Amino acid sequence: MSAFSWFRGITAGGDVVGRDKITNNNLPHPRQLDLLSESFKGEVARNATTTEIIDELHHYSNVRTDIRDLSQKLNGAGFGYLLSEAEELKQLVAKLIIKYQHYRSAQKIITYLLAEVESIFNAKIKGKLPSVSSEAELKLILRECLIVEIQDKLGDNVLDIFNRQVNGMVFFLTGNCHLEWS
Indicate if the pLDDT at residue 34 is higher than 60: yes
Indicate if the pLDDT at residue 162 is higher than 70: yes
Tell me the mean pLDDT in the region 132-155: 95
Indicate if the pLDDT at residue 15 is higher than 90: no
Domain edges within the chain: 32-175
Q: What confidence score (pLDDT) does residue 68 get?
A: 84
- Assign 97 a pLDDT band (cuts: 50, 70, 90): very high
Mean pLDDT score of the chain: 90
Q: Angle 140-106-59 (CA atoms, 0-180°, nearest 5)? A: 75
Q: Residue 42 and residue 104: Cα distance in Å, rounded?
A: 11
Task: Please tell me whether the overall predicted TM-score, pTM, comes out greater than 0.85 for this model.
Answer: no
Q: What confidence score (pLDDT) does residue 7 get?
A: 60
Tell me the mean pLDDT in the region 83-96: 98
pLDDT over 90 percentage in the chain: 75
**In whole angstroms, how far apart are CA 70 and each of 10, 78, 113, 117, 148?**
77, 12, 20, 16, 24
Indicate if the pLDDT at residue 5 is higher than 90: no
**In whole angstroms, how far apart are CA 143 and each of 8, 86, 125?**
65, 15, 10
Tell me the mean pLDDT in the region 132-147: 96
More confident residue, 27 or 114: 114
Indicate if the pLDDT at residue 165 is higher than 70: yes
DSSP the chain: --TTGGGTT---SS---SS------PPPPPPHHHHHHHHHHHHHHHT---SPPPHHHHHHHSPPTTS--HHHHHHHTT-GGGHHHHHHHHHHHHHHHHHTTT-HHHHHHHHHHHHHHHHHIIIIIGGGGGG--SHHHHHHHHIIIIIHHHHHHHTT-TT---HHHHHHHHHHHHHTTS----
Q: What confidence score (pLDDT) does residue 98 get?
A: 97
More confident residue, 28 or 59: 59
